[in-house]
A and B are shown apart, each in its own frame.
Chain A
Amino acid sequence: MVSEAENQEVKQTPLAARHVELGAKMAAFAGWEMPIQYAGIMSEHLAVREKAGVFDISHMGQIWVRGAGAVEWLSGVLTNDLSTLDVGQGQYTLMLNEKGGVVDDLIIYRSAELEFFLVVNASRIEVDFKWLQSQALDTEGIELENESEAYAGLAIQGPKAVEVWTEMAAGLGEELPQRNQIAQVKAGNGDDLILCRTGYTGEDGFELFCPAASAVYWLDKALVAGCEPCGLGARDTLRLEKCYPLNGSDLDEEHTPLEAGLGFFVKMDKGEFVGREVLQEQKEKGLSRRLCAIRMMVKGPPPRPHYSVCAAEGGEPIAELSSGGLSPSLKQGIGMAYLPIACAKAGTQLEIDVRGRRYAAEVVKKPFY
């Protein structure tokens, strides 16, 4: 049982009461009481793949970075090359520690010439902010602002996301920004909204950040416009089918982005950044392990995080799953694990240990879907 003291530390988003009214099953995630599912993970997942769904992402963090030296400073603490960003553009990037391990993965937008908007993981807000502050100690003119509490956030995802926005914004006359871009708009009710054309599901969609007090207003607009309410359960199956890593499961301070297969978001030739030396060494010596996609070959129990991954034909355990579950789109068990490089090639036969029984599995190319 959760003790009362622990209970008090679980934070609520401005939408918590509305989720319960809508029939959500709530549970703690990353220190927040969040909706896990409403009608069911399967139907919510398929709604996002086929139509549109809305997720509460108010738990995610928003950090502003401003100042004359912001580009150079951020370039030294993030892996991607943000000098290529025009105002209004964004990119996926990573914040590393000195060992090359992942402090957080995030999306950064250039909201103005010398202003950047960072959307970070809920469980990492304080860690990220302290890390950034510690990196900014010797830098003049860098202003950091953690505005995570001020915003509520909704992710509207699915092939009908544009139609949903058109209806939500009736009379506003604002078009959504292009893929990976950001727009700040004034809504009819006076709200200042931040719209980001991104997501974590592999479908078209956008994230809308509004003042916390208006969260219910915008959630209800999304529902009226045809979105299914979706919980973190479907968010997890959707991202796993696309092999998007989950921080804390697939990414942590012990694994580098190269090992996680995120080399595309690491620009080694842009100049110095925290963690670069370790990555350079890994590039030269080669990786010893790699985050791989694993598919179950037989009908069996869904693979789940921490299950043992073993060599085929009763071989030794070689890793444990960092993520796993049943894919609602493929109706197959899927997962990811950091495998020794000798076992990391697509086609490698493996076994997953589920409660003492072995089930055949195989390394496959990413993504699953």
Chain B
Amino acid sequence: MNIPDQLKYAESHEWTELDGEMAKVGISDHAQAELTDVVYVELPEVGNLVEAGDPVAVVESVKAASDIYAPVGGEIIEVNDAVQDDPALVNTDPYGAGWLFKIKAEDTSQLTALMDAEGYTAHIS
């Protein structure tokens, strides 16, 4: 299972990569493996204001729809249109081409609530 060291992880299996105040979000390799066969991704509108913990996107497999939660509050500044055209990117490249949305964080200290790679590894094992 691929769990990159430089990312932060939520209990609900989103990963976050912080670059300044910009937080890029996707779902973990573990999450995509559990879902299998992602067939549809619903992304938020750019410009939406969200709070940490809000359900802001939906990733759907053949079997179920799963909410994706904002790991940090702020403004949605970009979404990955490529996964709407090709949802399988979430399976094939969850930390790369399969990213979901970017949030301009209001308060990056909210991210300290997330787990590091070691903590997340323990969480899913």
Cβ contact of A302, chosen from B34, B36, B40, cutoff 8 A? B40
Smallest CB separation, B40 vs chain A (Å):
5
State A74–B124 Cα separation when bound (angstroms): 52
- Does A355 sit at the interface, judged by CB under 8 A? yes
Pair A326/B39 contact, Cβ less than 8 Å: yes
Tally chain B residues at the interface, Cβ within 8 Å. Answer: 12
Known: A40-B36, A41-B37. A325 touches B62 (CB 8 A): yes
**Which chain B residues numbered 40 to 73 have a C-beta less than 8 Å away from chain A?**
40, 42, 58, 60-63, 65
Task: Report chain B residues within 8 Å CB of A300.
Answer: 40
Q: Mark A87-108, 1 if CB is under 8 A from B, else 0.
A: 0000000000000000000000
A301-B58 contact, Cβ under 8 Å, with A36-B63, A37-B63, A41-B63 = yes
Q: Does A304 contact B (CB under 8 A)?
A: yes
Instruction: Kindly name the residue among B34, B36, B40, B62 whose own CB sees the greatest number of chain A CB atoms within 10 A.
Output: B62
Closest partner residue, chain A, to B62 (CB atom): A41
Q: Are B62 and A304 in contact (CB under 8 A)?
A: no
* Nearest chain B residue, comparing its CB with the CB of A45: B62
Report A-chain residues with C-beta under 8 Å of the C-beta of B60.
301-302
The residue of chain B having its C-beta at the shortest distance from the C-beta of A43 within the complex is B37
Q: Contact at A233–B62, with CB atoms within 8 Å?
A: yes
Number of A residues with CB within 8 Å of any CB on chain B: 17
B62 contacts which of A25, A39, A326, A355 (Cβ < 8 Å)?
A: A326
- Distance between B18 CB and nearest chain A CB, rounded to angstroms: 29
Asked if A67 CB lies within 8 Å of chain B CBs, one says: no
Complex interface bits, A7-29 against B, C-beta within 8 A gives 1, otherwise 0: 00000000000000000010000
Is A42 interfacial (CB-CB < 8 Å)?
Answer: yes
Q: Please name all residues of chain B whose beta carbon is closer than 8 Å to the beta carbon of A25 when the two chains form the complex.
A: 34
- Residue from B37, B39, B42, B63 within 8 A of A355 (CB atoms): B42
What are the residues of chain B within 8 A of A41 when measuring CB–CB? 36-37, 61-63
A159 interface residue, CB < 8 Å from B? no
A284-327: CB near B (< 8 Å → 1, else 0) gives 00000000000000001110100000000000000000000110
Name the one of B34, B37, B42, B65 contacting A42, with C-beta atoms under 8 angstroms: B37
For the complex with contacts A301-B42, A302-B40, A302-B62, 14 further pairs of A-B residues with Cβ separation under 8 Å are A25-B34, A37-B63, A40-B36, A40-B37, A42-B37, A233-B62, A233-B63, A300-B40, A301-B58, A301-B60, A325-B63, A326-B40, A355-B42, A355-B58
Q: Closest 4 A-B residue pairs measured CB to CB?
A: A40-B36, A41-B62, A42-B37, A301-B40
